[in-house]
Amino acid sequence: MKYKHFGLLTALVCLACGSANAALIAHYTFNGTLADSGTSGGTATLGKNGSLSSTVSAVGSGSLELRNNIGTDTSGLDGAVSGNNFALGTGARTVAFWMKAEGTLDTSATMIALGDSGTNGGRYDIALSGGNLRLEVQGGGTTTSVALGGGNWFHVTVATALGGTVASSQYYVHNTDGTLNASGAFGGSSTAVNTRNNRLRMGDSIQDTSRDFFGYLDDIRLYDSVLTQSEAQGLAAMWSPVPEPTAALLGALGMLTLLRRRRN
């Protein structure tokens, strides 16, 4: 009996090991820093359109702010770019992040880009087309009917399983109150995902032309595993923005008025 229990215990421990192997390989909080709190991304570099905001965020004390300061570069470096490369190939991955699109967006504004255009399926871009969520790889792509513009915050999770295609990739979109806005498989394009060795681009695509994203991105995470819907919801439930400066200002003005009345 004792050995039986030991076997069960070993099995449970191994299960725990298995899930622990699913790594958060890059995590940018933008809370006053460009450092990666994951394992492999390295400190990010800001491009011409990127800056750290300490007054607007989705989680914590800051976010990545993206403004159109100087047109486009030619290699997708206008937002923020990871210090290191990722060689994901056909491997499983999940990208999760908060986004707030603002102003006049580029035609194919890109929130997250991995890989490059060297081969079919080599690029992996999570973007907007006509304000709707789109997953685009080199040689293929599918635009959903999920609208992500309008100046609202959304939490977006996109997951591709080992050997997956654009069509089989899954998306989960959550609102700031943690409710599910939309979910499903991208469908459409059967192009296989085969992400080439390149850096993680945030707010721009290596394809570049007309692909700058304007607004805010926050809590950008890259996993080397497929997250479930409930795990995606768990990330969305972390919504905890910097208090609106206007609300704080109104509060201060209210106090001032109250003090003046008391004096009179």
- Distance of alpha carbon 249 from alpha carbon 243, whole angstroms: 10
Minimum CB separation from Ca ion for residue 143, in Å? 20
Residues in Cβ contact with 194 at an 8 Å cutoff, skipping those fewer than 6 apart: 89, 90, 119, 120, 121, 122, 137
Minimum CB separation from Ca ion for residue 125, in Å? 12
Nearer to Ca ion, 47 or 164 (CB): 47
Amino acid found at 76: G
Minimum CB separation from Ca ion for residue 202, in Å? 12
- CA-based nearest residue to 120, from 75, 186, 165: 165
Nearer to Ca ion, 31 or 195 (CB): 31
- Distance of alpha carbon 223 from alpha carbon 98, whole angstroms: 15
Nearer to Ca ion, 218 or 224 (CB): 218
Nearer to Ca ion, 110 or 169 (CB): 110
Minimum CB separation from Ca ion for residue 106, in Å? 8
Minimum CB separation from Ca ion for residue 89, in Å? 25
Residue 174 and residue 155 in contact, taking contact as beta carbons nearer than 8 Å: yes
Nearer to Ca ion, 59 or 193 (CB): 59
Q: Residue 233, interface with Ca ion (CB under 5 A)?
A: no
In whole angstroms, how large is the CA radius of gyration of the chain?
Answer: 21
Q: Residue 29, interface with Ca ion (CB under 5 A)?
A: yes
Per-residue mark of binding to Ca ion, 191-220 (x: CB under 5 A): -------------x---x---x-----x--
Residues in Cβ contact with 262 at an 8 Å cutoff, skipping those fewer than 6 apart: none
Q: Rounded to an integer, what is the distance from CA 101 to the centroid of its chain?
A: 13
φ, ψ for residue 28 (rounded to 5)? -110, 115
Candidates 50-58, 119-127, 179-187, 243-251: pick the segment binding Ca ion (CB under 5 A): 50-58
Tell me which residue has tokens 């215990």. 9
Minimum CB separation from Ca ion for residue 263, in Å? 41
Minimum CB separation from Ca ion for residue 20, in Å? 25
Nearer to Ca ion, 154 or 186 (CB): 154
φ, ψ for residue 259 (rounded to 5)? -65, -40
Sites for Ca ion among residues 128-167 (CB under 5 A):
none
Minimum CB separation from Ca ion for residue 168, in Å? 29
Per-residue mark of binding to Ca ion, 55-84 (x: CB under 5 A): --x-xx-----------x-----x------
Residues in Cβ contact with 157 at an 8 Å cutoff, skipping those fewer than 6 apart: 94, 95, 96, 171, 172, 173, 174, 227, 232, 235, 236
Residues in Cβ contact with 260 at an 8 Å cutoff, skipping those fewer than 6 apart: none
Under rule CB under 5 A, how many of the chain's residues touch Ca ion? Answer: 12
Nearer to Ca ion, 125 or 204 (CB): 204
List residues near Ca ion by CB under 5 A.
29-31, 57, 59-60, 72, 78, 204, 208, 212, 218
